[in-house]
Amino acid sequence: MPNTLLLDEPFQVTGKWWLPDHSDKAVQGILTYSPTEIELTLIGGFADMSADSGVASRDFERITTIYGFADGRKFTLQDAIIQGRTIHSNGGLTETKCSAGFVFVGSHVDKESEFRSIAIGCRHLDGFLNTPAINVRREIVEKKLRGITAECKAPEPKSFQIDAVGSEMEIRSHPNVRQDRNSATLRIESHVLFRFDTPQCFDPCLKTSWRLCQLLTLLTDQFVKPEWLELVPNSSEESLSVLWKVIRQRELNIHRDDVLIHFADCENFQTILNNWFSASETLMNSVYMFLASRTKADAGTDRLEPCFLMASQAFEAFSRATTESTYMDQQIYDQQVAKVLKEAIPTTVGADHRSSLKNRIRYGNELSLRKRLSNSLEELPSELHRHVFKDAKRFTNGVVDTRNFLTHYGDDLREKALDNAPLWWATEKLVMLVRILLLRHVGIKEDRIAQALDNHHFLMQHPLLWGEFEESRSTG
């Protein structure tokens, strides 16, 4: 969108800044924004304002909101903290430095402000849509190229209703051209618009935007993040930009341009959206751990164990969220098994030991990691086996033995635990398994998943690369 502030573009503005309800006591200052820092440097400070403003001379810590006007625009800083003051010896001038979590550009808002809509531009959205929209014609005269004509027609908007969010979601595209005297670049740029049935505060809006990016990360197998974000307040017709400090992550350049699942592969994107946005908190815990373990593994971390544990936890959380997690009916277990086992604990057992045993009995009906893995691998269609394991039993043994060792670090478990390259590939296989399970859960058909993996120039190589490494060190 034109004139949109991008999260990765720094800027600096000079203007006047004040606390809410104290516009008559504005002070001069400079706001500096970069992807990793939001800093406001004030000439003077807010200390001379009345004590009821929440900032007294002895209380220089946290401020909820700071308003400003600079470069012809309104600014709002939220989650602001006064970091310190410097008193210069030359004239006794005081300089106050503040940091903030968010910057709203275009309006003055507060924590209770509500918004009707949110527009999000994010990386790899165009690659996911993969919509042909540019037609190039070459004018050839006497076998010589005399001219080139390019026509660009933006695709029609795509609309979806997301009941879990209470919103209509629309994918919009528009042509954009960048040119100088001797070159030009023509491309289609897309963004997503959410129109809420009921106006939302900022936190749910931000959560919705990140939830969308996480879905696109799963589908594209790229690291998708917002590039820009705009909100329309409930009390205004004009949009405002939102900026925040971005946690830097290593870019994943291994398969940058290779999208796993395209929009055309999603037979019912409406269903996929509703499945994703209605996911339980436990399922989203699985998603968060999957994304974390995938990112760290791709980035080449020198600590394999945390990645493996996150991947195994991602699988276990997915299993808990989507399947029956007990061996038998819980009520029958409590009455006929747990009660008998607790009563059978000898009276000679100490209080702490007794409490520990009862706690183990309490969770004794939950499926083990071994059982969960076995069940999931049995349900996996044969065309996906090669992307996850060579031998289902040995893969399961290797994962369980390694997880047990990394959880308890017993010497009797060490010799069975995987390490080095086998541990790396066990992690990649777990990540692949969770990827497949999540894609299937949101509504991508298994044959489409298999086809996408077989055609993905990076992921298709995995079975060839890990084929020579052991899946288990257990002899059983």
> Where is average pLDDT lowest: 229-233, 235-239, 283-287?
235-239
**Is 461 in the same domain as 313?**
yes
Residue 357 resides in a domain: no
For residue 131, the model assigns a pLDDT of 80
For residue 302, the model assigns a pLDDT of 57
**Is 286 in the same domain as 310?**
yes
For residue 445, the model assigns a pLDDT of 95
Residue 343 resides in a domain: no
**Is 90 in the same domain as 170?**
no
For residue 433, the model assigns a pLDDT of 98
**Is 299 in the same domain as 417?**
yes
Residue 225 resides in a domain: yes
**Is 446 in the same domain as 375?**
yes
Q: What share of the chain is helix, strand, coil (3-state, %, to 5)?
A: 40, 30, 35
For residue 184, the model assigns a pLDDT of 77
Q: pLDDT category, 57, cuts 50, 70, 90?
A: very low
Average pLDDT value for the chain = 88
**Is 190 in the same domain as 60?**
no
Residues 232, 233, 237, 240: is their CA dihedral positive or negative?
Answer: negative
Cβ count within 10 A of residue 150: 12
**Is 299 in the same domain as 386?**
yes
397 alpha carbon, distance to own chain's centre: 31
Residue 361 resides in a domain: no
Provide the CATH number for the domain around residue 72. 2.40.10
What's the predicted TM-score (pTM) here?
Answer: 0.88
From 105, 126, 154, give the residue that closes a domain: 105
Half-sphere exposure of 102 (CA within 13 A, CB side): 20
**Is 90 in the same domain as 121?**
no
| C-alpha distances in Å from residue 439, one per residue of 231, 447, 448 | 30, 11, 10
Q: Per-residue pLDDT for 417 more than 70?
A: yes
Q: What is the pLDDT of residues 199-223, one digit of tens each?
A: 999 999 999 999 999 999 999 999 8
For residue 88, the model assigns a pLDDT of 66
Query: What is the count of structural domains for the chain?
Result: 3
**Alpha-helix residue ranges (DSSP H) falling in 94-223:** 125-129, 202-220
Q: pLDDT category, 247, cuts 50, 70, 90?
A: low
Residue 385 resides in a domain: yes
Q: What is the pLDDT of residues 378-394, one digit of tens each?
A: 999 999 999 999 999 99
From 105, 129, 157, give the residue that closes a domain: 105
Which residue range forms the structural domain that includes residue 149? 114-265
